[in-house]
């Protein structure tokens, strides 16, 4: 798995393949507040020990620096991801609510990717993330 996917996966405690996560209940480590402003994300991601901000371009740059693919492929991935409507960054919850689960009681999985309130990263953007890599010729 590439560094972007694995680092995001580590941060949000997802060990399974990205596509499998879209059907699961949102655990605390897979949740972000889709309704929060960029300024709110910045404050939460830098002034809280329960939220962390991951910048997609920075993670792609780390993969290029690690030699996983060249800079041209990295640019392709970023462009493809942005064109698909992907967010530039995610401020994700790393410490959950009751029993470590922020949205564990959610039974309607559609609300975890509707762009309102707490959403599940991979339910909302998993296809965009995988599609960007695959579309640029990166094999998993």
pLDDT, one tens digit per residue, over 17-47 is: 333 333 333 333 578 888 888 888 878 877 7
Q: Please, where are the H alpha helices in 12-140?
A: 38-46, 56-65, 71-83, 121-135
Residue 130 is predicted with a pLDDT of 93
| pLDDT category of residue 5 using cuts at 50, 70 and 90 | low
Domain annotation covers residue 26: yes
Residue 140 in any domain: the answer is no
The answer to the question of residue 39 being in a domain is yes
CB burial of 88-121 (b: ≥16 within 10 Å; e: otherwise) equals: ebbbbbbebeeeebbbeebeeeebbbeeeebbbb
What's the pTM?
Answer: 0.67
Q: How many domains does the chain have?
A: 1
User: Do the domain assignments include residue 88?
Assistant: yes
Residue 78 sits in which domain range? 3-135
């Amino acid at each position: 798995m590439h560094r972007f996917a694995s680092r995001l996966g580590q941060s949000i405690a997802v060990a399974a393949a990205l596509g499998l996560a879209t059907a699961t209940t949102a655990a605390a480590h897979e949740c972000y507040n889709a309704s929060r402003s960029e300024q709110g994300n910045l404050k939460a991601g830098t002034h809280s020990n329960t939220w962390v901000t991951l910048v997609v371009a920075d993670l792609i740059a780390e993969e290029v620096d690690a030699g996983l693919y060249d800079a041209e492929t990295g640019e392709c991935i970023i462009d493809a991801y942005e064109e698909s409507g992907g967010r530039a960054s995610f401020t994700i919850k790393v410490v959950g609510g009751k029993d470590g689960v922020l949205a564990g009681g959610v039974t309607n999985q559609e609300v975890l990717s509707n762009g309102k309130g707490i959403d599940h990263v991979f339910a909302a953007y998993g296809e965009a993330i995988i599609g960007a890599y695959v579309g640029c010729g990166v094999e998993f």
